[in-house]
Structure 1
Amino acid sequence: MLGQMMDAPLLITDLLRHAETYHGDTEIVSRTVEGPVHRYSYHDAARRARQLANALARLGVAEGDTVATLAWNGYRHYELYYAISGTGAICHTVNPRLFADQIAYIVNHGEAGVLCFDLTFLPMVEQLAPTLPAIRHYVLLTDRAHMPSTTSLPDLLCYEELLAAERDDYAWPRLDEQTASGLCYTSGTTGHPKGVLYSHRSTVLHALSSSLPDAFGVSADSCILPVVPMFHVNAWGFPYSATLNGAKLVLPGPKLDPESLYELIEAEGVTLAAGVPTVWMALLQHCEQRDLTLSSLERVIVGGSAVPETMIEQLAFHGADLRQLWGMTELSPVGTTSSPKLKHRRADAAERRRLQLTQGRPIYGVALRLVDAAGKVLPNDGVTFGRLQVQSVWALSRYFHRERDASHSDDGWFDTGDVATIDADGYMRITDRTKDVIKSGGEWISSIELENILIGHPAVAEAAAVGVAHPKWDERPLMVVVLKPGATVSREELLAFFAGKVAKWWLPDDVVIVDELPHTATGKLQKMALRERFRAYRWPDGA
């Protein structure tokens, strides 16, 4: 016997309809590429999204078509999120920080027929256009006053003129909830980037679960600043979770420097912010140098790479709680957050800090397990290392335009490529990527743990640990370090900083100080580039 409850598809447009109806006067604030700060409400955004849906139909965009975006976090990009998916088309967010040939590959592989882009990227798009044969329409996300006087792009369209020509009474179709809604590509550090095709159902469920108190803790009294880009895994879903809850949304546009972020946080009363560690390290350094306080900030969601313990302490000084996130493009992206349990109220400060330094426990809808090289399931004892695998209603079943591949096990689990431990309460700690783990004398050394320790040194701004070939031990850890501006420190002092913090055989054998470390387009350390750079490194005598 089936239950006798109303049945309706889970659709992205229903998030916007709810926000318009019950949170219509709540603000969406954006720094614009043109300069001024733009303000409007969910009611305004919903109206303009309907106008945009009509405009897309006039451009010939049909259900199942792909519309690509090259844009910052701003209100026009937000409108594209809802209008494209709401019509049954696919919102394909493209990372403008990638190399030109990667962008061309992604746009072409995603089969986009329309490309919408910010003014910042006009020269890039003009350069790319000859390599994008399927693009029928180029739409510049600006008004007539800021349209270029000359351009090599054929029939360049003005976004604001497209909207102004349309009515706002578009009726959102009642799509099948499994209809494709969004397309994001992995960073592509090896080989071509791979596409992950999200559905309305997966996106709405992800927004619901990531909003929960044990995840992001989003509510109608939140003021949210997603520094994580809308071109990177849908800004961790915040354009959806904020809308679902009617939270005030603050979009930073192209100005991601510490001074601009501080001004926006203070001016708008931001309570919840999200981004990669390098963003917050720079902001905290800015505050420290100028004796500034983050007065409204209550919680910071940090993901993309491991968090140094000093960042937790610095944010706590400003009254903000740090919560780690772990996820992947393939996981929409949220898998775990480092939220405490009731029993941890009785825990001492050291235990609570230990939890914050993990990548956290699964949010509802996500299951994790560890397996060995043979695929045998390993225990959740907090000690045993294994390959991390995941299942979720918002995890990919296969990559776009690919058949099922080796990343999925025979019993339906996705192999993340991470090495981790999981304790009895489900708290997971990433110890390395499978390709980054340092193998010394047949044993594994966690590069991430070594990095986190050295980042705690007051002179160190950033650190990377890589395995370098060793004549006796196969590999040994080499630390590659960037110092804080004006800081000086010796190699011996940095090596001594590890004493008593790790097992002796984990101790790095040398430290190299460099001006900068290589990063991917999404801010992650490029360990592969470092390994290549130091492939022929000669260890000092005695190492």
Structure 2
Amino acid sequence: MKCIPIPRTESAHDYQLLIKRLLLHPIVDAPDQEIVYRDQVRHSYRQFRERVQRLAAALTRMGVKPGDTVAVMDWDSHRYLECFFAVPMIGAVLHTINVRFSAEQILFTIDHAEDDVLLVNSEFLPILEQIRGRIDTVRDFILLKGDEPHPHETTLTFTAEYEELLASTPPEFEFPDFDENTRATTFYTTGTTGMPKGVYFSHRQLVLHTLGVQAALCSSVVQGCLHRGDVYMPITPMFHVHAWGLPYVATSLGLKQVYPGRYAPDMLLELIEREKVTFSHCVPTILHMLLKHPHAAKIDLSNWKLIIGGAAMSQALCMAALGHGIDIFTGYGMSETCPILTLAQLTPDMLKLSPEEQAEIRCKTGLALPLVDLKVVGEGRDEMPRDGRSTGEIVVRAPWLTQGYLKDHKTSEKLWEGGYLHTGDVAVRDERGYVKITDRSKDVIKVGGEWISSLELEDIIAHHPAVAEVAVIGLPDEKWGERPLALVVPKPGTVVAEKQIQHHVREYADKGMISKQVVLLRTRMVETIDKTSVGKINKVALRERYVY
């Protein structure tokens, strides 16, 4: 196909989509807006810009060059936000280290990413002490003083302390222009086997993701709308997919931002109340923890808009949140997708439905964002009917998807087989275009030749009044192939028997709401359910513990 490129005037500027462009509006139009860290720090956007310039100048003086990698180990903080901008804006790569990985996994990611500089919160020094003699690439360590009253002893030698480094460096720094396809960030995601896999994103991808999320959130008529009057606080780690990319969105809009540091329910609720937080995002386990806290019943949460992602939200949890007046809805994506692909926002007509009917929609995976080409396909790669029943795998194209796994060509080709990124998520799509994940392809349970959704079964069990948490996995069975095993954490002070759970589930089966094969359900009461480093139910660990 022959296309005609536009003619270019010799003097015309070749405008590249760089992360520095996201600072144009807030620094000019909202310089006095606040960025808050816990109950300790308040900076204006004007000060934020100066601190970003100081950090960029300091790193450059230390010898950081375009293409070098600067890693960060910190809680969610104003300093992390400064790194989100300063590091990629000088042409370097920001590696956001998952501090919940094991010491060996962290060592692997540092070496695999070839980190040159490492900024580390003093609270994580014991981790580095375990691996310090085996870190081969890092030439400079910068200390971020933590919030703990008694700093950890360390044998590491630091080039500088973060605040002293910024204070000693003038704020004059001119950020260069360069190719928008330059790699900006790298982080690592855990798989079912082996060491973590590195995903990476360019400036262009991060800017387009920011604009796509803005278009979806800011164009909503009523529900889940993000606007310039909102106060933003992430409750998703900044090391995990750039805190879902929302800090870039909030900064580009010039919103007041609140960073909570280490996640403690009393501090989170205090910040929501004191700073008038109106927009956040988190995984279901964090919300469950917050709603259980005694302080949650004493504060007004009715102005709080909350995206739930990272794991499926049960309708029981959704109803509990709605009972507090929280405007809650689902967002969907994965580490490889930057991450947001869909949002389950409601139309004005949907808001007229009963809370139960609304909850069903709010718990869906939602509608694809602008620029997202999302399909639900069968085994032959044909798109499945939009009838709310026909299941298939979600495959996707969008301008912000990782182009592969770092230094792993074979797995990258498998991820992108056929020219679409394969999510591994099994879903249905209704006539309105709303997607609903029914399971991970590897988590579907096949009982006597019939597929059972572990997510659907978890949601049903979660409705039992004595159940605090639940995870469902498949048990090998000689007769049936597999049968479901429900691992149940009872609510404090309650006693629930296996027969009660089975009777509860059977009622749904009798109504035709789930396959009658669930009568083969086995139930086990447990004290805790294993989670991954980002708060998802760790079904790999659960299978290793209870199946093999």
TM over 0.5: yes
Secondary structure of residue in 2 paired with 1:497: helix
Distance in structure 1 (CA, Å) of the matches to 2:7 and 2:291: 53
1:231 aligns to 2:243 (yes or no): no
Gaps of 5+ in 1: 537-543
Deviation of residue 379 (structure 1)? 2.2
Secondary structure of residue in 1 paired with 2:125: helix
1:112 aligns to 2:120 (yes or no): no
Residue of structure 1 in register with 2:178 after alignment: 175
- Residue of structure 2 aligned with 1:220, choices 220, 228, 236: 228
1:280 aligns to 2:287 (yes or no): yes
Residue of structure 2 in register with 1:420 after alignment: 427
RMSD between superposed Cα atoms in Å: 2.2
Query: For structure 1, which segment, 118-127 or 266-275, has the greater mean C-alpha deviation from structure 2 after superposition?
Result: 118-127
Question: What are the equivalent positions in structure 2 for 1:378-389 lying under 5 Å apart?
Answer: 378-389=384-395
Residue of structure 2 in register with 1:194 after alignment: 197
Question: What are the equivalent positions in structure 2 for 1:45-64 lying under 5 Å apart?
Answer: 45-64=48-67
Residue of structure 2 in register with 1:457 after alignment: 464
1:515 aligns to 2:527 (yes or no): yes
Change (3 A) 1:3 1:277: farther
Distance in structure 2 (CA, Å) of the matches to 1:359 and 1:210: 15
Residue of structure 2 in register with 1:356 after alignment: 362
Residue of structure 2 in register with 1:42 after alignment: 45
Question: What are the equivalent positions in structure 2 for 1:64-463 lying under 5 Å apart?
Answer: 64-142=67-145, 151-214=154-217, 217-254=225-262, 256-287=263-294, 291-295=297-301, 297-341=303-347, 343-344=349-350, 347=353, 349-403=355-409, 404-410=412-418, 412-463=419-470
Distance in structure 2 (CA, Å) of the matches to 1:144 and 1:423: 48
Query: 1:477–1:509: 8 Å Cα contact kept in structure 2?
Result: yes
Deviation of residue 395 (structure 1)? 0.7
Secondary structure of residue in 2 paired with 1:435: coil
Secondary structure of residue in 2 paired with 1:266: helix
Distance in structure 2 (CA, Å) of the matches to 1:150 and 1:334: 40
The one-letter code matched in structure 2 to 1:380 is R
Deviations 1:145-182, CA, capped at 9 Å, x for gaps: 99969631134421112112211110011121111111
Residue of structure 2 in register with 1:480 after alignment: 487
Deviation of residue 508 (structure 1)? 4.7
Change (3 A) 1:483 1:349: closer
Distance in structure 2 (CA, Å) of the matches to 1:94 and 1:281: 26
Query: For structure 1, which segment, 456-465 or 313-322, has the greater mean C-alpha deviation from structure 2 after superposition?
Result: 313-322
Q: TM-score, normalised to structure 1's length?
A: 0.93
Query: 1:51–1:168: 8 Å Cα contact kept in structure 2?
Result: yes
Residue of structure 2 in register with 1:469 after alignment: 476
Change (3 A) 1:525 1:11: same
Distance in structure 2 (CA, Å) of the matches to 1:242 and 1:51: 22
Change (3 A) 1:413 1:494: same
Distance in structure 2 (CA, Å) of the matches to 1:191 and 1:316: 40
Gaps of 5+ in 2: 219-223
Secondary structure of residue in 1 paired with 2:233: strand
Query: 2:452–2:515: 8 Å Cα contact kept in structure 1?
Result: no
Deviation of residue 197 (structure 1)? 1.0
Query: For structure 1, which segment, 162-171 or 504-513, has the greater mean C-alpha deviation from structure 2 after superposition?
Result: 504-513
The one-letter code matched in structure 2 to 1:124 is I
Deviation of residue 469 (structure 1)? 1.3
Query: 1:211–1:217: 8 Å Cα contact kept in structure 2?
Result: no
Query: 2:498–2:524: 8 Å Cα contact kept in structure 1?
Result: yes
Deviation of residue 92 (structure 1)? 0.5
Residue of structure 2 in register with 1:535 after alignment: 547
Deviation of residue 449 (structure 1)? 0.6
Deviations 1:391-432, CA, capped at 9 Å, x for gaps: 11001221112324212122x101111111112222111111
The one-letter code matched in structure 2 to 1:409 is E
Deviations 1:28-80, CA, capped at 9 Å, x for gaps: 1112xxxx521111111110110000100011111111101111110111111
Deviations 1:260-314, CA, capped at 9 Å, x for gaps: 1111100100001111011111111114x77323346331111011112122222
Distance in structure 1 (CA, Å) of the matches to 2:102 and 2:191: 11
Change (3 A) 1:355 1:145: closer
Query: 1:262–1:294: 8 Å Cα contact kept in structure 2?
Result: no
Residue of structure 2 in register with 1:541 after alignment: none
Query: 1:477–1:507: 8 Å Cα contact kept in structure 2?
Result: no
Query: 1:438–1:444: 8 Å Cα contact kept in structure 2?
Result: yes
Change (3 A) 1:189 1:144: closer
Distance in structure 2 (CA, Å) of the matches to 1:356 and 1:457: 20
Query: 2:36–2:78: 8 Å Cα contact kept in structure 1?
Result: yes
Query: 2:377–2:392: 8 Å Cα contact kept in structure 1?
Result: yes
Q: TM-score, normalised to structure 2's length?
A: 0.92
The one-letter code matched in structure 2 to 1:526 is N
Deviation of residue 342 (structure 1)? 5.0
Change (3 A) 1:485 1:347: closer
Query: 1:23–1:42: 8 Å Cα contact kept in structure 2?
Result: yes
Change (3 A) 1:55 1:214: closer
Change (3 A) 1:391 1:213: closer
Paired residues, number: 529
Distance in structure 2 (CA, Å) of the matches to 1:418 and 1:358: 13
Query: For structure 1, which segment, 186-195 or 244-253, has the greater mean C-alpha deviation from structure 2 after superposition?
Result: 186-195
Deviation of residue 532 (structure 1)? 2.3
The one-letter code matched in structure 2 to 1:86 is M
Distance in structure 1 (CA, Å) of the matches to 2:454 and 2:297: 34
Query: 2:123–2:151: 8 Å Cα contact kept in structure 1?
Result: no
Deviation of residue 212 (structure 1)? 3.1
Distance in structure 1 (CA, Å) of the matches to 2:154 and 2:297: 46
Change (3 A) 1:145 1:516: closer
Secondary structure of residue in 2 paired with 1:96: coil
Deviations 1:500-524, CA, capped at 9 Å, x for gaps: 2423123452210011111111111
The one-letter code matched in structure 2 to 1:455 is A
Secondary structure of residue in 1 paired with 2:414: coil
Change (3 A) 1:418 1:51: same
Query: 1:29–1:39: 8 Å Cα contact kept in structure 2?
Result: yes
Deviation of residue 448 (structure 1)? 0.5
Secondary structure of residue in 2 paired with 1:130: helix
Secondary structure of residue in 2 paired with 1:226: coil
Query: 2:123–2:146: 8 Å Cα contact kept in structure 1?
Result: no
